[in-house]
Structure 1
């Protein structure tokens, strides 16, 4: 029987066949390269996602911080919900590499600050095969509410140019805030050489123009601080179509039906109390002077708007008590739309108190400073328009006067403090 036996390969050929060895060596050499590359990718991605978590925490905190006044009114749960909603929205669409995303919020410092914490687990892409376990990522942000009381508030929620300046007009509100509720892209707007300086400037929509400091946009609305203030009683007419022409006169409280006109250089003083101007305008012109010291004026009915002419002298001080306490002028909330109130006086140094015009627009059209001598002046109007060379000075020295300030005008403006 014959057997076929292969002879072994010559030794010199065995030494030359290294192809398998090379493949093994290359594989071993690539392992650390792959590991380092994978580490770079995964640690880089962790940095990216930490930044995303921080941005989400920041957004939740700043938005909730703008609503801290709700917490101070006993609505802490609303603020917490706002924080979580905005933070979660900022993470919407985040890669599936994050798991167990959680958002928590808490109120600090007697509801004067809000803290937002965001956590998530990162699943490694490359280093999972090398035993790297999912990694916990975390970010926190704290927003504090601190700011200026509002001294100019435009209530209209939609109007373009709800607060508007043109020509050389100025609004000077160094230690208080100017706020427009409107969501319009030009809610606060100035053109020409007009400018605005305030402790804070806040728009529910957008801004355009010259402002100091840089305005805050997308601000939550400030509720009408006088919405619950009842109007004074409207009694029977004590005067009808009253005109004071020349001379000196001191008028008594009551209902001036058909309006009141002060003209021809008259010097008129209103005794303390409540004055109702019904069914007609309040007009001061012709070089006249008009003074109140503890008198409040309520405007109601068709054509019940006020105009202070250019060559007049205006000095107004609000009552310290009674239904018109703190209010210089109060427009009926049911007044017809389209009525315009005008301050044109070049000599109106004192307007101590609050001008409340919830339904219509205030025009300030002078060539001089307005209300500069007042301890404080607050304007709450549907919209506010300043033009010509007006310098509307809104002081806020509340402690130096016994005239009360309406509540609800200190919402605060939030800033990150993490």
Structure 2
């Protein structure tokens, strides 16, 4: 009886499945809790990395906005506001300034094994890398050992990085110094009355302004910039000549012989003394100097004997080409008559200095008596659109002007292009009478002295004057690139 009862109970127990799930859950609880803990820990790693990335982004932008010698300090300070302090709690914040050297199709890294992606050679960017450690918790349960051991504790290293470059916007220039042979291409020796009226300037070497910022806007320089401009910006390499394209006028406008296509035959009469008539040379008639539309060639010095108005046919512009000679105002005023062409564009005059580099020739406007005024406005259309004064870029001697804006006074609307000349600007260049408010001076190097300056130039009026202004990129914010 007892044995039969016992066997029966065993059969019933074998068939009874109640509680099996509980047993299985009990067996699975340990790994399940472990995986949940690991999932929580991995999520925590993600949150820390996300915070690191936000800090790196903000720090890289701060470095790019700074752009100066303290860019690394500023970037690390910004990272610290996110809780990542360089050198504390095993956190490292590394800030690197990157400059693209020669960037080929493969975007090969530079000397620091970095490059600014999708930016040209010479571009600058800033890389911020943040790394830190967090101790392992439940992930050890599943056998994960981390990737660092600090003071005997297993750790997980986390990292984030970002790269930013200074943003830019175009800035119109009214003064450019193209030369690269002088220590400073734009300089002043202390001129508290000089005023460029917000004009943006560019120097292909350094810029040196002692005691006064010249009232310039943004001053761009390849080298050091000492005191020039309200805002100072460094450019990585010399800017190209913005008006080099005008040299095509040599062939397309003046014929195959270029700017020297005159009938001078080597005869270039020169002034023999102050205010002397030129024997065999040219003294323009006064008060009206009637010229033909297009090109007008003059050999040697041109000397005014009275106030003179250059007068082309109505509705036409003129080009005055002086070969191997100066334009001596001799205390008088030279102006040009302005009418409108068939399209309603104002007419004007371009004065071109051409010739060769034979010693002794002057290829520039002068005033050997003093008190003269050059009052001209450039054509607003055609091949010489916007060009008022032009020195042939093939000339390298006899180009310098030592009292521009003062002797003679310059009232000019348009481009003053003297790419190999040394200009000492002693007076203010203002717009021509009745012309638009637009002056652009391009020279080899410029010294601003006394009351030297340029009247306020308005981009809208430059467009109306037919002037294509040169531009540079001025800093404007920053953008992430990686």
Q: Is the 8 A contact 1:242 1:259 kept in 2?
A: yes
User: SS where residue 449 of structure 2 aligns?
Assistant: strand
Report the CA distance between 1:201 and its aligned residue.
0.6
Report the CA distance between 1:153 and its aligned residue.
0.6
- Residue among 25, 44, 66 paired with 2:88: 44
Report the CA distance between 1:372 and its aligned residue.
8.2
Which entry has the higher C-alpha Rg, 1 or 2? 2
Report the CA distance between 1:343 and its aligned residue.
2.2
- Cα distance change of structure 1 residues 308 and 149 upon mapping to structure 2, 3 Å threshold: farther
> Which consecutive unaligned segments of at least 5 residues does structure 2 have?
1-83, 134-146, 269-279, 339-347, 356-360
- Residue among 273, 284, 290 paired with 1:244: 284
Deviations 1:94-116 (A, max 9, x none): xxxxxxxx766357xxxxx9986
Report the CA distance between 1:324 and its aligned residue.
1.5
- Residue among 205, 214, 222 paired with 2:239: 222
2:143 is aligned to none
Q: Is the 8 A contact 1:171 1:394 kept in 2?
A: no
- Cα distance change of structure 1 residues 79 and 410 upon mapping to structure 2, 3 Å threshold: farther
Report the CA distance between 1:260 and its aligned residue.
1.4
1:29 is aligned to none
- Cα distance change of structure 1 residues 247 and 297 upon mapping to structure 2, 3 Å threshold: closer
- Residue among 276, 279, 282 paired with 2:324: 279
User: SS where residue 388 of structure 1 aligns?
Assistant: coil
Q: Is the 8 A contact 2:331 2:367 kept in 1?
A: no
TM-score (norm 1): 0.67
- Residue among 164, 167, 170 paired with 1:141: 164
2:300 is aligned to 258
Determine whether 1:390 maps to 2:452: yes
Report the CA distance between 1:321 and its aligned residue.
2.5
User: SS where residue 241 of structure 2 aligns?
Assistant: coil
Distance 1:241 1:80 in 2: 62
Distance 1:330 1:292 in 2: 19
Distance 1:79 1:379 in 2: 38
Deviations 1:305-361 (A, max 9, x none): 222564123322111233312111111111033531352447857411111111112
Determine whether 1:307 maps to 2:366: yes
Distance 2:388 2:337 in 1: 9
- Cα distance change of structure 1 residues 78 and 215 upon mapping to structure 2, 3 Å threshold: farther
Report the CA distance between 1:394 and its aligned residue.
4.5
> Which consecutive unaligned segments of at least 5 residues does structure 1 have?
1-39, 68-74, 93-101, 108-112
Distance 1:81 1:308 in 2: 56
2:117 is aligned to 105
- Residue among 400, 420, 426 paired with 1:359: 420
Deviations 1:373-397 (A, max 9, x none): 7421111111122222233225133
User: SS where residue 228 of structure 1 aligns?
Assistant: helix
1:48-87 matches, within 5 Å, as: 49-50=92-93, 52-53=94-95, 56=96, 59-60=97-98, 85=110
1:189 is aligned to 208
- Cα distance change of structure 1 residues 140 and 217 upon mapping to structure 2, 3 Å threshold: closer
Distance 1:41 1:200 in 2: 35
Deviations 1:255-278 (A, max 9, x none): 111131224x32232532222110
Distance 1:45 1:243 in 2: 85
1:319 is aligned to 379
1:417 is aligned to 478
- Residue among 196, 205, 226 paired with 1:172: 196
- Cα distance change of structure 1 residues 126 and 241 upon mapping to structure 2, 3 Å threshold: farther
Determine whether 1:207 maps to 2:234: no
Report the CA distance between 1:365 and its aligned residue.
2.2
Distance 1:168 1:315 in 2: 26
Distance 2:166 2:85 in 1: 33
Report the CA distance between 1:411 and its aligned residue.
2.7
- Cα distance change of structure 1 residues 217 and 243 upon mapping to structure 2, 3 Å threshold: same
Q: Is the 8 A contact 1:296 1:328 kept in 2?
A: yes
Deviations 1:84-133 (A, max 9, x none): 64xx63xx8xxxxxxxxx766357xxxxx998666576798862741113
1:13 is aligned to none
Distance 1:41 1:388 in 2: 52
TM-score (norm 2): 0.59
